[in-house]
Structure 1
Amino acid sequence: MLSFSFYLFQPLEQIEDIFRLVAQLGAKQLFTSLHLSKGQELRERKKLDHIGQFASRYGIGVVADATPAVIARLSADADITTVLGRWGIVGLRLDAGFSMKEAASLSNQMSVVLNASTVTERECKELASYQADESNVEAWHNFYPRPETGLGRETMLAQNQLLRRCGIETIGAFIPGDAKKRSPLYEGLPTLEAHRNADPVYAYIELTETYGVNKVFVGDLAVSDGVLRRMDWVRSGVIPIRYRPIVGAGWLSLVETVHTNRRDAARDVIRSVESRCSIAWPQEALQPLPPVPRRAGRITIDNERYGRYAGELQMTLVDLPPDDRVNVIGEVIEEDMPLLRYIRGGRRFCLIRW
């Protein structure tokens, strides 16, 4: 699941736009933070009343990061779950200050989200000992506004393995946006430091497919329309690959479709099943071109000199030498090269001219 975040410093109009977008994407939760400055409680409670109306209107629940002190200031003497429910808050991501006993008690009333980046096995066992409702317990990682402070891949992998050993199956994490960064540093809000300047689509795929993350949230304020369009492909099970043509030809539009890597995946190349069985190449496309080196990420078509292989479209995974039976027609853009490793046997992908 891909979803987004909003923050109480944003105008209500922007916040509603985010609710509307998330509803269109089919997600059911948004993330926000309830870390407030003292003296602003009344103003923020009024804003939260409006947010509760958005949550009801669009069918989206809010999970809020909060400390016990903030919850006490916001809810005053009222029942916490009643107040939070009025604001559309269906879960709390528990920040420092909550005990495992309190977390267990809350889990019997609403969704409770542990800090996946810091929780220990001892704490998970303690939570269970207080008879927490396991179906209401999740764990989401932090995001890290300051450069050089995000998690390393080994840390995330180890923490996720710990959580799964403890029976926590739903894990969340954050990726940066590419359109509008959040203040005050404007340096992205990733969980993994390696994702700070990464393409959001790649960051999403790596979190879900390598680390088994179930819920991915954009920590920043916005992503570009291009990211949203490519995420449409990802949600349908297709990995979008952007490429630049090397040859100029009208028939290149035939390349820009959905392909499937052969189930018996090759070591050196990705082989399109459809290119030889369902694409009607014009004769021009199969005429030999001067051979050039096939560096990793090149898109090729076997020409007529390859006999029965003529018309097979491939993407190279490693550097290969020139071959006068193979035409090089395009190249994957550098930002999408890491995605090639996820196009395993039987996986669908599409080529998007960039």
Structure 2
Amino acid sequence: MLGFSVYLNESLTNERIAQMKAMRNAGFEGVFTSMHIPEDDASCYVPRLKELGTVCRQLGLTLTADVSANGLKRISIDINNIQQLTALGLTALRVDDGLNPAQIAQLSRQLPVALNASTISASDVAKLHECDANFQHLEAWHNYYPRPATGLDYEWYQSKNNWLKQQGFTTMAFVAGDEELRGPVFAGLPTLEGDRYRHPLASTLNLLGKLATDKVYIGDIALSRAALEQFRLYFQHNILQLSIQTSMASLYQDIWHNRPDVARDVIRLVEGRQKIKTMPPMQTRKRPVGTITVDNSRYGRYMGELEILKQSLSADPRVNVVGQVVTTDLSLLALIGSNQAVQFIRKDEKQ
């Protein structure tokens, strides 16, 4: 499941609602917001939350709010009053401090509840079982980390996430956006430090795949239109879109596919030798990561072999350099697996 964030520091504008529709149309299903309320803004949050809840219902999106019992009490909302919460449009709660296992268990029998994944212990799990919590409704959400260098370590996350899933929790993590970043630090809102400046789709696919995370939410305010289109194509059509620069215009005209047997150093696009019948030697230079190459006539029966480099390789007189994947998309290359469909677009089409 994919989700994104909408914050309550301002009222919903038509532009923001249009962004929400675009995210929904690209395959996103959930919205996250925060109800940790500054004193001077408390009066604004309830009407803004109601408005957000209404839009989410209209768009068929779930709405999860990060809440605390004391924070809700300040605006006269009882965290144990499910009808009061659902009337605001909330479909799930993300709770941290201030609730004991019995209260969490009671809530879990009525709606989904997300706990702080970093602080859950074995004794917490035992107490939740003792209180007859509904683990089908219990989730473990990792935090996002606004300050650079404070995001989670990859190996620690992997170990913790695997343990959480063994306990029966649905797990969730955040990835940073690539356009409108949230203040006051404006350095992305990822769970993993390694994802802070990584392409959001690459981060998402890694979390869902290698790290066995059940849900991924965009922590920041928005994705660029280009990244959103990459999400849409991948999750709706299983096509990975890459922006490239090339002198070979025919690369833009087809959908290409990685071979079923995945090579270590290169992505081998099977249609190359089927479609490229002649290729004289030219541009046989050094090949950095992301280089697009075609084997020339000096390679004999391999002529027409079309590849994208996952590792840097030296120049080869049998291999022509015909293009380059743009820097922002390089992190996607390692995630191109067996039979993966690939579409090339011009660099200027992503602006």
* Offset of residue 124 of structure 1: 1.9
- Which amino acid counterpart does residue 287 of structure 2 have in structure 1? R
- Tell me how far apart the structure 1 counterparts of residues 177 and 24 of structure 2 sit (CA, whole Å): 18
Asked whether the 8 Å contact 2:116–2:140 carries over to 1, the reply is yes
* Offset of residue 310 of structure 1: 2.0
Asked whether the 8 Å contact 2:162–2:212 carries over to 1, the reply is no
Structure 2 stretches of 5 or more lacking a match? none
Asked whether the 8 Å contact 1:174–1:191 carries over to 2, the reply is yes
* Offset of residue 352 of structure 1: 3.0
* Offset of residue 153 of structure 1: 0.8
Asked whether the 8 Å contact 2:201–2:332 carries over to 1, the reply is no
User: What's 2:117 paired with?
Assistant: 116
Decide whether aligned partners of structure 1 residues 77 and 348 sit closer, same or farther in structure 2, where only a CA change above 3 A counts. closer
User: What's 2:282 paired with?
Assistant: 289
Of 296, 311, 325, the match for 2:318:
325
Decide whether aligned partners of structure 1 residues 137 and 174 sit closer, same or farther in structure 2, where only a CA change above 3 A counts. same
Question: Aligned pairs, how many?
Answer: 345
Q: Deviations over 1:173-199 (max 9, x none)?
A: 111122212122222111111222222
- Tell me how far apart the structure 1 counterparts of residues 162 and 193 of structure 2 sit (CA, whole Å): 19
* Offset of residue 108 of structure 1: 0.3
Asked whether the 8 Å contact 2:72–2:78 carries over to 1, the reply is no
Asked whether the 8 Å contact 1:125–1:166 carries over to 2, the reply is no
Structure 1 stretches of 5 or more lacking a match? none
User: What's 1:226 paired with?
Assistant: 226
- Which amino acid counterpart does residue 253 of structure 1 have in structure 2? Y
* Offset of residue 125 of structure 1: 2.4
- Tell me how far apart the structure 2 counterparts of residues 353 and 240 of structure 1 sit (CA, whole Å): 10
- Tell me how far apart the structure 1 counterparts of residues 31 and 310 of structure 2 sit (CA, whole Å): 37
Decide whether aligned partners of structure 1 residues 93 and 76 sit closer, same or farther in structure 2, where only a CA change above 3 A counts. closer
- Alignment of 1:216 onto 2:209: no
User: What's 1:311 paired with?
Assistant: 304
TM-score by length of 1: 0.89
User: What's 2:255 paired with?
Assistant: 258
Q: Percent identity?
A: 34
- Tell me how far apart the structure 1 counterparts of residues 324 and 293 of structure 2 sit (CA, whole Å): 9
- Listed as ranges, the matches of 1:56-205 within 5 Å are 56-76=57-77, 80-168=81-169, 170-205=170-205
TM-score by length of 2: 0.90
* Offset of residue 107 of structure 1: 0.4
Q: Deviations over 1:282-302 (max 9, x none)?
A: 64xx12215223333321112
Cα RMSD for the two superposed structures? 2.2
Asked whether the 8 Å contact 1:75–1:83 carries over to 2, the reply is no
Decide whether aligned partners of structure 1 residues 39 and 295 sit closer, same or farther in structure 2, where only a CA change above 3 A counts. closer
- Which amino acid counterpart does residue 201 of structure 1 have in structure 2? L
Asked whether the 8 Å contact 2:277–2:303 carries over to 1, the reply is no
Asked whether the 8 Å contact 2:199–2:331 carries over to 1, the reply is no
Asked whether the 8 Å contact 1:177–1:220 carries over to 2, the reply is yes
User: What's 1:44 paired with?
Assistant: 45
- Tell me how far apart the structure 1 counterparts of residues 44 and 312 of structure 2 sit (CA, whole Å): 60
Asked whether the 8 Å contact 2:177–2:222 carries over to 1, the reply is yes
- Tell me how far apart the structure 1 counterparts of residues 210 and 257 of structure 2 sit (CA, whole Å): 20
Decide whether aligned partners of structure 1 residues 327 and 35 sit closer, same or farther in structure 2, where only a CA change above 3 A counts. same
Decide whether aligned partners of structure 1 residues 89 and 220 sit closer, same or farther in structure 2, where only a CA change above 3 A counts. same
Asked whether the 8 Å contact 1:19–1:60 carries over to 2, the reply is no
